[in-house]
Amino acid sequence: MASTASVTASCLCGTSTYPFTLPTSSLPLPARFCHCTTCRHTSGVLCTTYITVPPDLNPAPDFSTLTPYDSSDRLTRYFCSTCGTHMFVRERASGRLIVCTGVLNKTAGIVQPVGHEWLGDTRDGGASDWLRAIEGRAQDRWLGDEEKSEAAPLNWRSASRHTGTAASAEAKPADRLHAHCHCNGVSFSISRPSVHSLDAGPAPYHSGASAEDPANEPWWLRANRTKFLAGTCACRSCRLASGFDFVAWAFVPTANITLEDGSPFKRYFGSIRTFESSPGTKRAFCGVCGASVFWDGREGLLDVAVGLLDAEGGVRAEGWVEWWTRRVSFGEEAVNGSLIGALEEGLKTWGGARDDA
């Protein structure tokens, strides 16, 4: 028998576990970052990656602990009903099964990122500008489906994109940022930072310098307190809660969040379900489509999944957030260390160019 490699996919809570086998001759498996709007709004992350499970070598997974979501007439996505982890996507007509790479127990020699697809959906290039090369391999860039679409140059931006910065009175930036999951069971809007954004910290923000906060700065606000801080995280919990190798969060005070019907933020609303990922910390996800929504561990301040945002300037929402580019939080917990190392380098390069501009 030909030699094989064994890999195990597991969700955050451990209810869903799927050991499967890959022929060694097929490794490493090429993987493309998908930046499409559907992946983004079903996951809450900026881009997703998958590998194919060979059906001849593996039985079908136990789908009974997973919630199915038909994200199109072609594809069904499956996430853990308890913790929300995205595990699989199945092409209904062919039965082809792909597994999310963030749930794998190993990726070295198994997963090889080769490029970016559906960049056209991002309008600003999204996370592709942070992931230009991985393990020395330049990543291909496609505006749509791999090899069936136009290549996207580096720093590509949609011509129809609005910048989100006020160049004139007509181009006044929006005062509300809409956020929603793919099924729209979770929908809310975010307002611009204001004085109400200052009281969001673990301790109330003081108007004078204090021993706890000698710099006297609300760290979640940036750009002269006109934008929210956003950053990337590769911790075990974020990776498994989403199903993907890294996540992106924006730090938004609850005072800046308004629900669909105009009412103030409350815990919780719409189709949100929660999973306690550590004592006092909840992961909020959509119980219908499985999108990550919030990391909720502070009374007045939420981490909002950036993939849910509908910013007019593009998926990086740079008219609303300032990206922390010095590191990927908890990069040391990554399973795919080369991917997260490349992301960290890419963020630094991109941040340096941004700050020099």
- CA nearest 132: which of 341, 354, 346? 346
Near Zn ion by CB under 5 A: residue from 46, 98, 152, 238: 238
| CB-nearer residue toward Zn ion: 15 or 58 | 15
Least Å distance between CB 147 and Zn ion? Answer: 31
Contact by Cβ (8 Å): 254, 351? no
Dist CA 122 CA 35 (whole Å): 7
Taking residue 64's Cβ as centre, other Cβ atoms within 10 Å add up to 7
Least Å distance between CB 235 and Zn ion? Answer: 3
Near Zn ion by CB under 5 A: residue from 47, 80, 179, 305: 80
Strand partners, 111: 29
- CA nearest 37: which of 182, 252, 169, 166? 182
Q: Which two tokens stand for residue 35?
A: 């930046």
Output the CA–CA distances (angstroms, integers) from residue 85 to 151, 180, 292, 307, in the order listed.
Answer: 32, 18, 9, 15
- CA nearest 309: which of 192, 182, 178, 188? 178
Residue 343 binding Zn ion, by CB under 5 A: no
Residues 255-274 that bind Zn ion (CB under 5 A): none
Which x/- pattern over 23-62 shows residues binding Zn ion (rule: CB under 5 A)? ----------------------------------------
Residue 335 binding Zn ion, by CB under 5 A: no
Q: Quickly tell me which residue has 């000698």 as its tokens.
A: 214
Q: Which range binds Zn ion by CB under 5 A, 44-52, 131-139, 257-265, 278-286?
A: 278-286
Dist CA 239 CA 303 (whole Å): 15
Residue 76 binding Zn ion, by CB under 5 A: no
| CB-nearer residue toward Zn ion: 123 or 182 | 182
Least Å distance between CB 174 and Zn ion? Answer: 23
Residue 221 binding Zn ion, by CB under 5 A: no
Residue 181 binding Zn ion, by CB under 5 A: yes
28 alpha carbon, distance to own chain's centre = 24
Near Zn ion by CB under 5 A: residue from 82, 158, 258, 338: 82
| CB-nearer residue toward Zn ion: 46 or 83 | 83
Strand partners, 22: 5
Q: Which range binds Zn ion by CB under 5 A, 19-27, 72-80, 130-138, 303-311?
A: 72-80
With CB under 5 A, what is the number of residues at the site for Zn ion?
A: 15
Contact by Cβ (8 Å): 146, 115? yes
Least Å distance between CB 330 and Zn ion? Answer: 6
- Dihedral of the alpha carbons of 168, 172, 173, 178, in degrees to the nearest 10: -150
Type of residue numbered 348: K
Residue 233 binding Zn ion, by CB under 5 A: yes
Q: Which range binds Zn ion by CB under 5 A, 147-155, 166-174, 188-196, 229-237?
A: 229-237
| CB-nearer residue toward Zn ion: 102 or 253 | 102
Q: Quickly tell me which residue has 């129809």 as its tokens.
A: 160
Near Zn ion by CB under 5 A: residue from 4, 5, 15, 140: 15
State which H helix or E strand residue 344 sits in.
helix 337-356
- CA nearest 80: which of 107, 55, 106, 61? 61
Contact by Cβ (8 Å): 216, 209? yes
The SS3 of residue 90 is strand
| CB-nearer residue toward Zn ion: 83 or 335 | 83
Output the CA–CA distances (angstroms, integers) from residue 26 to 39, 339, 356, in the order listed.
Answer: 26, 20, 44
Which x/- pattern over 184-203 shows residues binding Zn ion (rule: CB under 5 A)? -x------------------
Residue 288 binding Zn ion, by CB under 5 A: yes
Residue 289 binding Zn ion, by CB under 5 A: yes
Residue 83 binding Zn ion, by CB under 5 A: yes
Q: Which range binds Zn ion by CB under 5 A, 9-17, 168-176, 212-220, 258-266?
A: 9-17
Residue 340 binding Zn ion, by CB under 5 A: no
Report the interface residues with Zn ion, using CB under 5 A.
Answer: 11, 13, 15, 80, 82-83, 181, 183, 185, 233, 235, 238, 286, 288-289
